[in-house]
Amino acid sequence: MSSTEARGSWGSRVGFILAAAGSAIGLGNIWGFPTRVGQGGGAVFVLVYLACVFLVCAPILMAELAVGRASRRSPVGALRVLLPGTRWWVVGALGVLAGVGILSFYAVIAGWTLAYVYFSASGTLTSVPAGELFARFTANGPLTTGLALIILALTAAILWKGVQGGIERASRAMMPALFVLLVVLAARALTLPGASAGIAYYLRPDPSKLLDPRIVSTALGQAFFSLSLGMGTMITYGSYMRRADSIAVGALWVVVLDTAIALLAGFVVFPAGFSIPGFDPASSGTGLIFTVLPRLFGSMPGGHLFGAAFFLLLVLAALTSTISLLEVPVAYLIDEHGWTRHRAVAAVTALTFVLATPSALSNGASAALTRLPGLGMGFLDLMAHLWNDFALPLGGVLLSVVVGYAWGIDCALDELRAEGARMPGARLWGGLIRYLCPVAIGGILLGAVLG
């Protein structure tokens, strides 16, 4: 077997796009994006987010895919192969850590989602006040920890089977269904009384917020998180890509699909939220969708079925993301340390579960973890903040320096144009990677650290 065959590869171009979009589309779009729009003051956040996606993240996505495909390795090995004798592999190592760190809190929220499938189907969701249900449920430590464990076990089970069989099949089935359901929910939300205030909040920018540096830094972090960038996931997924497929076209699809789903989620959550008297998007925090959506389902005939279907699809969307998070450290152990896939999956899953426990206990179960002394936030929120807003943009800025200067734009363009692939805007891409990405991300990170 050649090394490529031994590592596995996507079965087709569509297979790659579905798997990469499956990684990108997840809780980040449907839970994270509306939550952060709410905390960041509405339409201004949306605008800054879109600028980050298209000017910074799309070029970095192409760079990550090129690094992966050129080296046929996961992040650490990729940088060792492309830049032998240097220390740039450290950028890959940061990604391996981020994979475990992000998965540890992500699995907890995915676990909540799983419980909400049951709450919807059983009718609890529409009979108990939503805020009360959320608070009571998340304070149940053994339950939320157990649910996170179920999510991790499901993730491990999919990865156990290897790349193509597991990941591709999982992605193919659920994404169109998720899209259709979101459109139906948005249509219902938009006809609720009060919906127009939600739309105004979501789409009409408040200029006084435009210069808030915190908004820029969380929008950038959110864009990285949503597109699975800055930690080598897309290097790993690129390493399974065939040379005959265009990276630029694949990347564009992923960016457009991911952004469309996030924007659509906003059209569900804000009109529905503003139809609730006294709704304040900023004060709902992590629980935003879990408190707003039950009201929406309650307003629909057969709402408990819509609710159950919605949360089930969200669990599936989360799983196609968790497998990509787990795949980074797993591929690292396989590629760099010669571990078997099964051993790597078991070890990383166990480690992640240990780290997930404090997050699971940080929404009411443990007072100290719910409000960390001196920080004013819970452990889960702290993890999300550190990994999303710092680690991922840091990984992104380092990657743009690696590709722009160390590996070099010309080598990267050779990969992007492999086998005659179309690469429109090559010069623009090079300029964004060499100048805009390092300066913009570096500046925003510095501002966030100093501020």
Point out which residues bind ligand PFF (CB under 6 A): 23-24, 26-29, 102, 225-226, 228, 231, 233, 321, 324-325
Q: Which is nearer to ligand PFF, 27 or 170 (CB)?
A: 27
The string of DSSP codes covering 179-191 is HHHHHHHHHHHHT
User: Shortest approach of ligand PFF to residue 159 CB, angstroms?
Assistant: 13
Q: Three-state DSSP class for 378?
A: coil
Q: Which is nearer to ligand PFF, 44 or 235 (CB)?
A: 235
| Among 187, 230, 225, residue whose Cα is nearest residue 36 | 225
CA neighbours within 13 Å on the CB side: how many for 396? Answer: 39
User: Shortest approach of ligand PFF to residue 23 CB, angstroms?
Assistant: 5
User: Shortest approach of ligand PFF to residue 254 CB, angstroms?
Assistant: 10
User: Shortest approach of ligand PFF to residue 71 CB, angstroms?
Assistant: 18
User: Shortest approach of ligand PFF to residue 366 CB, angstroms?
Assistant: 25
Alpha helices in 123-140 (DSSP H): 124-127, 130-138
Tell me the C-alpha distance between 34 and 269, whole Å: 7
Taking the alpha carbons of 410, 411, 412, 414 in that order, is the dihedral positive or negative? positive
Q: Which is nearer to ligand PFF, 325 or 382 (CB)?
A: 325
The one-letter code for the residue type at 235 is I
Give the angle 61-217-319 at the CA atoms, nearest 5°. 50
User: Shortest approach of ligand PFF to residue 255 CB, angstroms?
Assistant: 12
User: Which residue number places its CB atom closest to ligand PFF?
Assistant: 28
Q: Which is nearer to ligand PFF, 218 or 226 (CB)?
A: 226
Tell me the C-alpha distance between 117 and 321, whole Å: 18
What's the alpha-carbon Rg for the chain, to the nearest Å?
21
Q: Which is nearer to ligand PFF, 226 or 400 (CB)?
A: 226
Q: Are 240 and 23 in contact (CB under 8 A)?
A: no
Q: Which is nearer to ligand PFF, 28 or 378 (CB)?
A: 28
User: Shortest approach of ligand PFF to residue 151 CB, angstroms?
Assistant: 13
Q: Tokens 């076209």 correspond to what residue?
A: 249
